[in-house]
Structure 1
Amino acid sequence: MKQKLHLWIEEYLFFPNNFQKIISFLLIPLTFIYMLIILTKRAMAKEIEFGIPVISIGNIIVGGSGKTPVTINLASKYEDVCVILRGYGRASKGLQIVSLRGKILLDVKSSGDEAMLLANSLPKATVIVSEDRVKAILKAKELACKIVFLDDGFSKYQISKFNILLRPKDEPTNIFCLPSGGYREPKSFYASADLELLEGRDFKRVITIKKDGKVCELPSRTLLLTAISKPKRLLEYLPKDIKMVSFPDHYTFTKEDISNIQEEYKDFSFLTTGKDLVKLKEFKIKNLYLMDLEIEISSNVDFSLLDEYLKSFEKEF
């Protein structure tokens, strides 16, 4: 039931059917109120300069657009990097240092799935989770980090930063902001980005199937088990007959969940994403395969504005 509900909500937000369109139109008065709040916050925000380059990897739709893998790709190119994110789904509160120059200091329940994936994927970086991004940036400076990457930081209008916005390959047919649609900010805000990266043109996802760190092929009877936003987008990279069990984004799997799934799919192998794997490791599922995702950025992307932004801070160091 939960699986059907969250898939229905995602369909409503992005690619609604006729019935869902009626609900969307009925909620437009609330959308106008939401947009007024967003525009007011943006107009009243006074940008804080930190004396350190801050690069935001964001989007303006609800859920995933590849922010985390793009952050990994870009952050891996620099030294003394700190990645800051809120840490959705974590059991902890406040500012927490997940990893310090590659040394992991928290478990996945305290860090959240995305933060742990970042910590594992960036072995020389520092990763911080915090609801207050300003405090986190100040902590990064205190730790002598030279560059900050904000995972999902576009809406933090009070922070002076270089904004990279990711645009999905398939634009939602529902163009409204919440709660009538899946946009968190008006679609016109793409124009305010310092750099816009469009999936399919500027970057693409490269999927490799692995087991125990080795590249392999999927068994014929495989179940995709995941708790990410818009899980159906994974199916285009997989065999057409694959089955899927999905949970809401950032869901914390329980022992009962895994036992029930293993009982229902006795003869199946299991496939999951890197973000899910950091949470599933504790269950020691023997026939578990990884859908390893990497981002390839086109050589045609012009990063000159980003280079100029970074050079403007050289005198600070």
Structure 2
Amino acid sequence: MKFLVTGAAGFIGFHTAMRLCQAGHQVLGIDNLNDYYSVELKQARLSQLTGMPNFSFIQQDIADRDGMQVLFQKHQFERVIHLAAQAGVRYSLENPHVYADANLSGFVNILEGCRHNAVSHLVYASSSSVYGMNSKVPFAIDDAVDCPISLYAATKRANELMAHTYAHLYRIPTTGLRFFTVYGPWGRPDMAPFKFTKAILDSQPIDIYNNGDMSRDFTYIDDVVEGIVRIQGCPPPYADESEQARQGAPARLFNIGLGSPVRLLDFVGCIEAATGVQAIKHMQPMQPGDVPQTWADTSALAQRTGFRPETPLQEGVTRFVDWYCDFYGV
């Protein structure tokens, strides 16, 4: 099949594009290569992809309405996996307009491209952040998500509502995936696993927020990609099935997480074990926009695809640390 993968130079986008290419699909990747974090790392990811004969790349900003219209018209994609976004909770507190441009305007451009060019399935990235301060655990896809506590979370929830609207109005099958703290080789430098590993190996202190009383449902990248690939092959049904008849649109949402939250201090312990270095810990208060815990209920994903993420934390952390040391020559 012919795929568009947005954010192909990003962490999840790179791994997803690679997996699709290895399966024999034609993949066009786009990315604006912004400097939110190291452009050199993004270029290094792309260098891995450009060796694939069925991969091509165009530097393109999804917020560019005219450019996206031309892209869709020219290439006539069968399926779209939309992973480009302005990420980061804390960054959204200081730079709100870039979130409006990428995550709102950019997403409208994706939806319009799918609408006018007969895309058979749009799979897009949402986030566990939409659950906000939800106290019910584990987080289930039918939980209320009406109170986001960061602009980033609000834009991701807006994406879900926008996708549902387009699915209802134009019968575009859409699937949103709420990712839970993805980590692994080629990971993002702005995320805790990368920042902690770098600081520990450099004998620098790490900040532990909420005095360590936080937990996250850390999910290994290979499990996330497996979920994406399986879901893209399962477009939501139309209103001939009872669930969709009630919902009124070929739109669905799924959590992708390990389903096993880990205390932040225990996660640091895994990095210490993998590096053989003791962390210097600075306890800090809770930061604005943060939540005390995340925990994915993945039963809907398992029911639909027969798959549950399963990579053990220590195994995943060791793979990440090995990649980090190799890539940076530590």
Normalised TM-score (structure 1)? 0.29
Return the structure number with greater strand share: 1
Specify the structure having the higher radius of gyration (Cα).
1
